[in-house]
């Protein structure tokens, strides 16, 4: 781009679109309803038919890295059928919760 006006216009377009996207996705602040939604995780039942849940701890450091404001981590077991299922529900803004490298979830990776 030899024309400085074109360069400035392109830069303004890139910065402007980044600011608009950041505002729409709450990149720089927490959504007000997030705490209310996180509180609803407590209503997930620990007994579902023959399935019984055991709570699992998630280290606070991992929660902070993920940017999660609420979570449940449980292992549901069905002794009748000898089956287990791990369940992890996180509440937070997309960003770090959905896109990160494996070493965030699996420190040994």
Residue 76: what pLDDT?
98
pLDDT, greater one: 97 or 84: 84
User: Model pTM?
Assistant: 0.66
Residue 64: what pLDDT?
85
Residue 65: what pLDDT?
81
| Mean pLDDT of the region 54-73 | 89
Residue 97: what pLDDT?
80
Residue 51: what pLDDT?
97
How far apart are alpha carbons 42 and 47 in whole angstroms? 13
Residue 108: what pLDDT?
66
Residue 47: what pLDDT?
96
Residue 1: what pLDDT?
56
Residue 11: what pLDDT?
92
How far apart are alpha carbons 93 and 98 in whole angstroms? 9
Nearest to 77 by CA among 103, 54, 102, 55: 54
**In the predicted structure, residue 48 carries a pLDDT above the cut 90:** yes
Task: Identify each DSSP E strand in the chain by its residue range.
Answer: 47-48, 51-55, 68-78, 83-92
């Amino acid at each position: 781009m030899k024309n400085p006006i074109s360069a400035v216009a392109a830069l303004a377009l890139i910065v402007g679109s980044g600011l608009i996207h950041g505002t729409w996705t709450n990149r720089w602040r927490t959504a007000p309803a997030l705490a209310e939604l996180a509180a609803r995780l407590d209503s997930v039942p620990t007994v579902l038919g023959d399935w019984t849940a055991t709570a699992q701890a998630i280290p606070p450091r991992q929660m902070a890295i993920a940017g999660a404001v609420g979570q449940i981590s449980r292992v549901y077991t069905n002794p009748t059928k000898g089956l287990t299922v791990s369940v992890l529900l996180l509440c937070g803004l997309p960003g770090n919760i959905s896109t990160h490298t494996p070493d965030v979830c699996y420190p040994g990776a």
